[in-house]
Structure 1
Amino acid sequence: MFVNRRDVQIQWGDCDPANIVYYPRYFAMFDDSTSTLFEVAGFSKQDLVRKYGLVGIPMVDTRSKFYIPSTYGDWITIETKIESIKRSSFEVKHNVYKGDALAIEGFETRVLVGRDPVNPDKLKSAPFPAEMVAKFTGS
């Protein structure tokens, strides 16, 4: 399974008045982490568009479990991997660590989408390219 880890320092603007990270900020971090996962795996946004004819990888479902809060100046590590791949949808898991402790579990369901060949003004799900499946699953 292909995994990417990135360190993030919590910024002043990430926090609410109680100096705790305002939870939607984590979802923005997860979105960046998913994009980074694709980039590090060798599938840049430009590749998705030019090589595979995709428009993007929109999120269709998300949720998180919060265990340990973070505050301004803290460093966290976000570990991101694709847990499963179906025809066009896939499940992403983000584990956030504060030191060695699991602070957050984040979950996303995303879909590969391209232009609908019948109506280019609309989007349509697109099948996962075999080389992407192989890279992310290790098979």
Structure 2
Amino acid sequence: MTLVNRREQFIEWGDCDPAGIVYYPRYFVYFDNATVALFAAAGLKKDEMVKEFDMVGYPMVDTRAKFSIPSRWGETIVIESRIAGWKRSSFDVEHRVLKGDALAIEAWETRVWVGRHPDDPDRIKSQPIPEEIKARFA
């Protein structure tokens, strides 16, 4: 069974556009935070991973979302996140946003595991994802 993390998100006034609904780029902030929370749920805090695995992070390189139901100020949504697949140096994350029992948003991300470039420490370079990281999500 794959690890699924559920995270509640309260919709703040500042997250909304003049129509009173969440301004769509804010969801991508929520999804970024949900990905960090997913790793933490697997016992992998980002600051500890940076030190232990000599990595810089896992930046997003591709994303998309399907919006079905809007969210408004004062509501609480639930974001369910899981790793949908692993590759050598990248992985896919799926997010489902729920309003009660209704599916409000489906979103997908591809992220790349990166460390410092060996020839230029000011640049980053993809690295193989350690097998022990992948095993934490099984």
Q: Which runs of 5+ in 1 are unaligned?
A: none
- Aligned-pair CA distance for 1:24: 0.3
- Distance in 1, Cα, partners of 2:27 & 2:40: 20
| Structure 1 residue aligned with 2:74 | 73
Q: In the TM superposition, what is the alpha-carbon distance from 1:118 to its structure 2 partner?
A: 2.8
Considering only aligned residues, what root-mean-square deviation do their CA atoms show, in Å?
0.9
Please give the alpha-carbon distance, in whole angstroms, between the structure 2 residues aligned to 1:134 and 1:2: 10
Question: Per-residue deviation at 1:75?
Answer: 1.0
Q: Deviations over 1:19-64 (max 9, x none)?
A: 0110000000000000111112111122221100000110001110
CA-CA distance at 1:134 after TM superposition: 1.0
For 1:8 and 1:80, the matched residues in 2 are separated by: 13
Amino acid aligned to 2:74: G
Q: Distance in 2 between matches of 1:19 and 1:127?
A: 43
1:13-92 → structure 2 map (5 Å cutoff): 13-92=14-93
Taking the aligned partners of 1:134 and 1:49, their CA distance within structure 2 comes to 18
Give the percent of matched residue pairs that are identical in Structure 1 and Structure 2: 58
Cα separation, 2, equivalents of 1:120 and 1:14: 36
Count matched residues: 137
Structure 2: gaps (5+ residues):
none
| Matching residue's letter, 1:134 | A
Aligned to 1:108: 109
CA distance in 1, matches of 2:129, 2:10: 33
Looking at structure 2, the residues matched to 118 and 24 of structure 1 have their Cα atoms a distance apart, in angstroms, of: 35
